[in-house]
Structure 1
Amino acid sequence: MRRHLVTAVTIAGLLTAAGCSSQDAAVPSDQAAATAAATATATDEEAPDATATLKDAAGKEVGTVEFSDVDGSSTEISVTVEGLTPGFHGLHLHTTGKCEPNSADPKDAAKTGDFLSAGGHLAGEGADHPEHAGDLPTLYVGKNGIGELTALTDRVTMQDLQDGDGTSVMIHSGSDNYANIPTRYAATGADEMTKKAGDGGERIACGVVEK
């Protein structure tokens, strides 16, 4: 877990020379008095346990993600992006550490698109969205194109993120509805597509998790 330690040390010294008058009284001397002060500040920040560089389909870097272990049982994920369309964007961890533009879907080679080689959500046994291990809070991007998010999850550990085929971080073009489709809109609730990914839309940025 990242920890911030800031130590400030201030040293001040005052030297005063005194003279004696004819009545033996102590009188401060401006010429002999001096004051010295120094302040030193040191910042110690632990490096993250893993990182990912987010790039769009054209290969332009649009952000970074840092992963930090928290007591071996949870993971802190910090995302910073810039240059994205303002609004909410779906944010997920995907099953494979590949971020290839115009790539084939691992489950359907006839289907191609940006970053499809990253596979689907890091899901977990029998889970539907939003209970996937890789489902994260939606990322909000401001009018200036900048977005930041820090989340703590106990659904994935650093070991999970660094399995044999790796893991990737994905940002989608639209907001994630977390499969929250009230029955007043659809009698049976969310359909299979919505349960799969939350209707976040196209994959617009991707980054491979690297130690």
Structure 2
Amino acid sequence: MRIATLTMIGAATIGLAACDKGGMDTGTPVADGQKAVATLQTAAGADVGRATATEVAGGIRFTLDGKAMPPGTHGAHVHMVGRCDAPDFTTAGGHWNPTGAKHGSMNPQGPHEGDLPNLIVGTDGRGTIGMTIPGATMAALLDADGSAFVVHADADDLMTDPSGNSGARIACGVFRPA
């Protein structure tokens, strides 16, 4: 029993060491890394939260802190254009997809870089998500036409191209360097 336990610990140590990428795992904060923030608003201009993009080793970490949102499950995505014109926020374009993938983490040809987990909002109107997108860069996020963070009315099915059947856009914010 003791030998089996030691063997398992040794294998786990070797496995973890294999994940080391020059001393910094994907997602580790980068000293003096770039950050961008998007203040989310409804079509009526109400403040409903904040999305943050932070440069980390090997990608970008996206977080969302939502408030005063309708309870339920909502699709949440980074969109290609840094515009949030009310009432429908269609000026934000499609999902951020610099690699040309299909939509959704459950799609064998996906996901878009802008595909994030569903936002679950409680009865208090609050919800949070966080996810690191490996390979994403701040240069692509903050390109000439920028990018936006959008929350949708319905849950994302995480598979249907191009938007996961996530419904209308109910909140939007443009990423700005912080």
TM-score, normalised on structure 1? Answer: 0.64
Aligned 8 A contact 2:79 2:148 in 1: yes
Runs of 4+ in 1 over 2 A off after TM superposition: none
* Other structure's SS at 2:115 match: coil
**Aligned-residue offset at 1:133:** 1.2
The answer for the alignment partner of 2:164 in structure 1 is 198
| Cα distance, 1:68–1:141 mapped onto 2, change above 3 Å | same
Task: Give the Cα separation in 1 of the matches to 2:169 and 2:64.
Answer: 16
Q: Does 1:118 align with 2:84?
A: no
Task: Give the Cα separation in 1 of the matches to 2:73 and 2:54.
Answer: 24
Task: Give the Cα separation in 2 of the matches to 1:126 and 1:63.
Answer: 29
**Aligned-residue offset at 1:92:** 0.5
The answer for the alignment partner of 1:49 in structure 2 is 35
The answer for the alignment partner of 1:97 in structure 2 is 82
**Aligned-residue offset at 1:65:** 1.1
* Other structure's SS at 1:160 match: helix
RMSD: 1.8
| Structure 2 residues without counterparts, runs of 5 or longer | 1-28, 105-110
**Structure with greater helix percent:** 2
Query: In the TM superposition, what are the counterparts of 1:74-153 in structure 2 within 5 Å?
Result: 74-102=59-87, 114-130=88-104, 131-153=111-133
* Other structure's SS at 2:45 match: coil
**Aligned-residue offset at 1:172:** 0.1
| Structure 2 residue identity aligned to 1:135 | D
Instruction: Using the aligned pairs only, state the percent identity.
Output: 38
Task: Give the Cα separation in 1 of the matches to 2:122 and 2:114.
Answer: 24
Task: Give the Cα separation in 1 of the matches to 2:100 and 2:131.
Answer: 24
Tell which has more relative contact order, 1 or 2 (C-alpha 8 A, sep 6+): 2
Alignment length (residue pairs)? 143
Q: Does 1:58 align with 2:44?
A: yes
**Aligned-residue offset at 1:48:** 6.6
**Aligned-residue offset at 1:47:** 9.1
Task: Give the Cα separation in 1 of the matches to 2:135 and 2:149.
Answer: 15
